[in-house]
Chains A and B, each alone.
Chain A
């Protein structure tokens, strides 16, 4: 099993299989339509001969009428060709995009930290379109090309083997040229796409960071950098154009050359009385029918190259093992969080994109949080506080040691009840550009009428919202930019309260809120916290009042832990911090 490498079509085939019927039907329709329409040049030959032999015009009329009838029937088949094959390709596109997105929904924050949003979006749009072009128009053109080549060749050989050779050889050359150009172009195209992605990222970052750019007057250097990137982009394009520019003229010269050869060789045959003029005309007709499919073949090859390259990129995502595996529900699995949390000898390091792990961010954490108690975490910047609480929501996989929730290893918890039981207010607020109400009511639980206002009140947000012209219907800007820093944080707080979770985790959730409002929030929380387990991270000793236990984290280790008094008695880093903050307050009071 070890070297059972995932195949390129592992994900696509099951989807394709659903629509085999469409493809079969479409192939038949394509074959019929081509076979029928290819009779037309032969009828032209018959008509020419009839005219030459001075047959009555009724005979010519019958032949002309037959052409039209053939075209009608062939047209009906053509309709079904698209209606089935292209139709199926759109269904495949839809299915594949759905598959990709549902995969993305299972991937962990670590994955998102190391991939660019722009790339992921390109996979879900451009790459999927490239795959669709491969299985839709690509397949259609292959069938088209094969059938018209075979049928035309059959007619041509029957009409004149010599002219057939004269026609087919240069056209084969055409196919080779198209293919060669296509391959070269494909390589260039990939480089250009990569550069275009870079260009996009430059604009994206420039605009997202516009406040910084303006504050530091970086507009000029940004313009210079962007100009350089754009120039490189058009230079790349021009080199591509030099290549693909050959395409049209090449096609014209080869088709013209074939016409010339047929005319020349055919003309001599006619002069030698070995060929009728009608046959020559019919050849001109078949030539036309051969050119397009043969050229299309070259095109199909590049469709295939693009499609498979895109498929590989999509597969890379689909094959990504989510680091967080949902064990799924079983009879014995827990369904509701009660609130006991225990870390046993836990050591954690962030996985790097290359699969290795960095230096440990948390080491030998032993910590027991009894249900219904309140834990405070404090410690220097970068000491691992956020990391510690992220593990409880299982945002990252635990490695060495154990993390138990209600005495059950976190890896055995189905994700849904675990996360439903935890109200986590992340340190950095992410809001959606939706209404305030939709943002607060994000968990969309049952019986929520009136609870949005209640949650907003608890988060001390309601009063301000009432002052907004559209109140809870106010649409927020991207990431919530049209709110003040504190308003954003409190919206996120209200969002977590809506869940009525058994465990509340506040990761510095009031850092942008003034003390008075903070006080109000904590007072409000007092009414809902009893009975719930809570973990509060803060840099202010004052915010940790009412905590049953306080942990001082330094360099990923628990430097000390205990009640406020115990810690003061220890006279360690916590006591020092406390004295510093208290002193400041008292000094000012004097």
Chain B
């Protein structure tokens, strides 16, 4: 038992721009680089086309309207129209192609993450709450998509527009341009202050939202416990606390926006006022035309346009930096339990299992298995008993290579587990887990788990063997009846049987049962025993159980105690030893007899 360390990085929010992350993100564009380049070129063209508007207005006013050239006005109007239409078409194509790239990248990253998670070792899942990992694969990837499809490109487009405007202004009139630019420092200052503050509040908002989500996830699944213990009020108060913190963070951001937007508007008006005043002076001495002043006014208006959704873009950028940081951190976490470079297979499978001085710790240095050694001969049926927490489940987990042992070795038919690929090992073993998990879907799906070569008959046969056939047959859609999330509407024993049926349907060469019938009644258990005896003839099986009845037919019994293998032998041998097993057995026997004694009193 160790500390449950976890990367609680929902709360970490880095900088708004991080060159290292950005570079890594851009590598995802590599497969699509031609399209990206095409899209950027298109964007350039569209920007130029859109900026030509004010210029055309200027020409129209100065060259035609002021001199009363009607035909000229018609000509330029038609030209303008042509530009509008072509920029409409090009802008649409540009937008779509960029978004399509964004979607593909989103798909690539999501699949990379999902594959990576499928390869991760179980120790990783012990430390990281499911909800958090789900967020990585779903929401965080979506945020990145936004970055690719709008954020980066939009910012790029904005910058090009701004440059275009500056060039156009300087071209018309350097002096007036410089006068207009006088407001820029104020704009930069306002944005800089805003940016810093908004980053902090945004981080707070994200953090409290993540906490609300985590809280809901846990307390909605544990609602029955809350109600059974009358903790509704306390739970509500704890929820309100977080909700309140979230509100406070949001309040802080309101002030920022409420000040920032009017400030930008004010600066824009100041720029216009400056333009009009100085422009008027210049026109007075014929250094400027009216058309040019009008063009200037329109250019200024466009200069401020990108700032209207600056906060949004900034948030996208920041959110995507944070998301990519979390995603990369997850991708950089190496899968611990992996196949060796050249995995071996067992040439002639017999099913001998050897534990050779195995020591294991979930979290070093808290060892929970100490130098465990034993051999299970091919076709043997071995039972493992021992007090709760003795390390029986851990033993089974090691055998399937859910975790890697630190010392010693485990061998199957003489081949070290670490020399084979985990998938290969699991291809001939089946483990019925102590902790039952039922998927949503139907009964059949829960048994064959989407393995296409398991037939409907095999599924039904497996269900019958565990004594669940009758129950399923009575359901409205039989094997196609849907079960709820985590099998919520089944009895505990039914769930256990369902997960048992899986193992039988997979027809393994080595079967490991971890308390597989602890919640099942004695009669059904006996039925399963009979089926197993037939099924596992000449096949190796390891059975972990607390009930003597479950292990009665074992060829050999291993007794675990506090992580150490203390006794091993047949039932008779162990009784004769008068050790742990003997006392264990005595208690159970007396316990069983107790009811009779009590009844006799």
Q: Is the CB of B92 within 8 A of A47?
A: no
* Cβ-based interface call for A515 (8 A): yes
Determine the distance from Cα of A199 to Cα of B113 in the docked complex, in whole angstroms: 14
Which residues of A lie under 8 Å from residue B330 when comparing CB positions?
none
* Cβ-based interface call for A559 (8 A): no
Please tell me which one of the listed residues B250, B272, B435, B489 contacts residue A211 in the complex, with CB atoms under 8 A apart: B435
Q: Is the CB of B118 within 8 A of A222?
A: yes
A75 to chain B, nearest CB (A): 3
* Cβ-based interface call for A476 (8 A): yes
* Cβ-based interface call for B407 (8 A): no
With a 10 A CB-CB cut-off, give which of B2, B129, B290, B388 has the most chain A CB atoms.
B388
Q: Is the CB of A79 within 8 A of B552?
A: no
* Cβ-based interface call for A409 (8 A): no
Q: Is the CB of B388 within 8 A of A57?
A: no
Q: Is the CB of B519 within 8 A of A511?
A: yes
Q: Is the CB of B393 within 8 A of A484?
A: yes
Q: Is the CB of A484 within 8 A of B70?
A: no
Which residues of B lie under 8 Å from residue A76 when comparing CB positions?
262
Determine the distance from Cα of A581 to Cα of B122 in the docked complex, in whole angstroms: 38
Which residues of B lie under 8 Å from residue A344 when comparing CB positions?
none
Determine the distance from Cα of A250 to Cα of B386 in the docked complex, in whole angstroms: 74
* Per-position binary interface string of chain A over residues 521-551, scored 1 when its CB falls under 8 Å from any chain B CB and 0 otherwise: 0000000000000000001111111100000
* Per-position binary interface string of chain B over residues 420-458, scored 1 when its CB falls under 8 Å from any chain A CB and 0 otherwise: 001100110111011101011000000001110000000
**Given known A-B contacts A67-B269, A98-B240, A516-B584, A212 and B433 have beta carbons under 8 A apart:** yes
Please tell me which one of the listed residues A63, A207, A263 contacts residue B130 in the complex, with CB atoms under 8 A apart: A207
> Which of under 10, 10 to 19, 20 to 34, or 35 or more describes the interface residues of B?
35 or more
Q: Which of B542-601 contact A (CB under 8 A)?
A: 546-549, 552, 571, 575, 583-585, 587-589, 591-600
* Cβ-based interface call for A350 (8 A): yes
Q: Is the CB of A482 within 8 A of B119?
A: no
**Given known A-B contacts A427-B492, A516-B387, A260 and B84 have beta carbons under 8 A apart:** yes
Which residues of B lie under 8 Å from residue A44 when comparing CB positions?
272, 276, 297
* Cβ-based interface call for A10 (8 A): no
Q: Is the CB of A208 within 8 A of B130?
A: yes
* Cβ-based interface call for A446 (8 A): no
Q: Which of B514-548 contact A (CB under 8 A)?
A: 515, 518-524, 526, 546-548
B374 to chain A, nearest CB (A): 19
Q: Is the CB of B223 within 8 A of A419?
A: no
Q: Is the CB of B591 within 8 A of A519?
A: yes
Q: Is the CB of B437 within 8 A of A75?
A: no
With a 10 A CB-CB cut-off, give which of B221, B225, B484, B486 has the most chain A CB atoms.
B225
B142 to chain A, nearest CB (A): 8
* Cβ-based interface call for A169 (8 A): no
* Cβ-based interface call for A331 (8 A): no
**Given known A-B contacts A207-B134, A215-B426, A71 and B266 have beta carbons under 8 A apart:** yes
Q: Which of B62-98 contact A (CB under 8 A)?
A: 64-65, 68, 70, 73-74, 77, 80-81, 84-85, 87-89, 91-92, 95-96
**Given known A-B contacts A380-B523, A442-B229, A443-B231, A544 and B280 have beta carbons under 8 A apart:** no
* Cβ-based interface call for B209 (8 A): yes
Q: Which of B377-419 contact A (CB under 8 A)?
A: 385-389, 393, 400, 402
Q: Is the CB of A104 within 8 A of B223?
A: yes
Determine the distance from Cα of A68 to Cα of B263 in the docked complex, in whole angstroms: 12
* Cβ-based interface call for B41 (8 A): no
With a 10 A CB-CB cut-off, give which of A378, A486, A543 has the most chain B CB atoms.
A486
Q: Is the CB of A381 within 8 A of B3?
A: no
Determine the distance from Cα of A511 to Cα of B81 in the docked complex, in whole angstroms: 81
Determine the distance from Cα of A44 to Cα of B297 in the docked complex, in whole angstroms: 10
Q: Is the CB of A513 within 8 A of B118?
A: no
A218 to chain B, nearest CB (A): 5
Determine the main DSSP class of A at the interface with B.
helix
Please give me the residue from chain B that is nearest to A589 by CB atom.
B589
Determine the distance from Cα of A586 to Cα of B593 in the docked complex, in whole angstroms: 9
**Given known A-B contacts A226-B114, A234-B107, A474-B3, A215 and B430 have beta carbons under 8 A apart:** yes
Q: Which of B240-266 contact A (CB under 8 A)?
A: 240, 243-244, 246-247, 250-251, 254-255, 257-259, 261-263, 265-266
A44 to chain B, nearest CB (A): 6
Q: Is the CB of A381 within 8 A of B497?
A: yes
Q: Is the CB of B585 within 8 A of A588?
A: yes
Determine the distance from Cα of A385 to Cα of B386 in the docked complex, in whole angstroms: 28
Determine the distance from Cα of A424 to Cα of B229 in the docked complex, in whole angstroms: 9
Task: Identify the stretch in A151-159, A183-191, A239-247 within 8 Å (CB) of chain B at 4 or more residues.
Answer: A239-247
A326 to chain B, nearest CB (A): 10
Which residues of B lie under 8 Å from residue A320 when comparing CB positions?
none
**Given known A-B contacts A112-B223, A484-B389, A515-B546, A94 and B60 have beta carbons under 8 A apart:** no
Please tell me which one of the listed residues B74, B226, B388, B600 contacts residue A514 in the complex, with CB atoms under 8 A apart: B388
Q: Is the CB of A101 within 8 A of B236?
A: yes
Determine the distance from Cα of A248 to Cα of B153 in the docked complex, in whole angstroms: 14
Please give me the residue from chain B that is nearest to A495 by CB atom.
B229
Q: Which of A493-513 contact B (CB under 8 A)?
A: 495, 499, 508, 511-513
Determine the distance from Cα of A98 to Cα of B221 in the docked complex, in whole angstroms: 18
* Per-position binary interface string of chain A over residues 89-104, scored 1 when its CB falls under 8 Å from any chain B CB and 0 otherwise: 0110110011001101
Please give me the residue from chain B that is nearest to A577 by CB atom.
B522
Q: How many residues of A contact B (CB 8 A)?
A: 188
Which residues of B lie under 8 Å from residue A82 when comparing CB positions?
254, 257-258, 261
Which residues of B lie under 8 Å from residue A319 when comparing CB positions?
none
Q: Is the CB of A260 within 8 A of B81?
A: yes
**Given known A-B contacts A211-B433, A442-B231, A477-B4, A67 and B589 have beta carbons under 8 A apart:** no
Which residues of B lie under 8 Å from residue A263 when comparing CB positions?
57, 60, 77, 80
* Cβ-based interface call for B127 (8 A): yes
Which residues of B lie under 8 Å from residue A37 when comparing CB positions?
265, 269
Determine the distance from Cα of A267 to Cα of B106 in the docked complex, in whole angstroms: 50
Please tell me which one of the listed residues A238, A486, A563, A565 contacts residue B389 in the complex, with CB atoms under 8 A apart: A486
Q: Is the CB of B138 within 8 A of A199?
A: yes
Q: Is the CB of A483 within 8 A of B1?
A: yes
Task: Identify the stretch in B31-39, B210-218, B349-357 within 8 Å (CB) of chain A at 4 or more residues.
Answer: B210-218
A389 to chain B, nearest CB (A): 11
* Per-position binary interface string of chain A over residues 225-236, scored 1 when its CB falls under 8 Å from any chain B CB and 0 otherwise: 111001100100
* Per-position binary interface string of chain B over residues 105-138, scored 1 when its CB falls under 8 Å from any chain A CB and 0 otherwise: 0110011001101110010011101110110011
A268 to chain B, nearest CB (A): 7
Which residues of A lie under 8 Å from residue B301 when comparing CB positions?
288
Which residues of A lie under 8 Å from residue B258 when comparing CB positions?
78-83, 86
Q: Is the CB of B254 within 8 A of A564?
A: no
* Cβ-based interface call for B50 (8 A): yes
Which residues of B lie under 8 Å from residue A124 when comparing CB positions?
212, 216
* Cβ-based interface call for B479 (8 A): no
Please give me the residue from chain B that is nearest to A90 by CB atom.
B250
**Given known A-B contacts A57-B281, A105-B232, A564-B596, A113 and B488 have beta carbons under 8 A apart:** yes
* Cβ-based interface call for A401 (8 A): no
Determine the distance from Cα of A585 to Cα of B584 in the docked complex, in whole angstroms: 12
Q: Is the CB of A499 within 8 A of B229?
A: yes
* Per-position binary interface string of chain B over residues 484-522, scored 1 when its CB falls under 8 Å from any chain A CB and 0 otherwise: 111011111110010100100010000000010011111
Q: Is the CB of B243 within 8 A of A514?
A: no
Q: Which of B47-67 contact A (CB under 8 A)?
A: 50, 53, 57, 60-61, 64-65
A sample of 15 inter-chain contacts (CB < 8 A) reads A60-B276, A72-B266, A87-B254, A207-B125, A216-B449, A219-B119, A241-B99, A241-B103, A268-B73, A350-B489, A419-B230, A422-B228, A442-B229, A540-B547, A588-B589
10 shortest interchain CB distances as A-B pairs: A486-B388, A381-B493, A75-B262, A545-B595, A564-B599, A71-B269, A82-B258, A64-B273, A113-B488, A542-B592
* With A209-B437, A542-B591 already in contact, 5 other A-B pairs whose C-beta atoms are closer than 8 Å: A248-B91, A256-B87, A259-B53, A280-B294, A515-B587
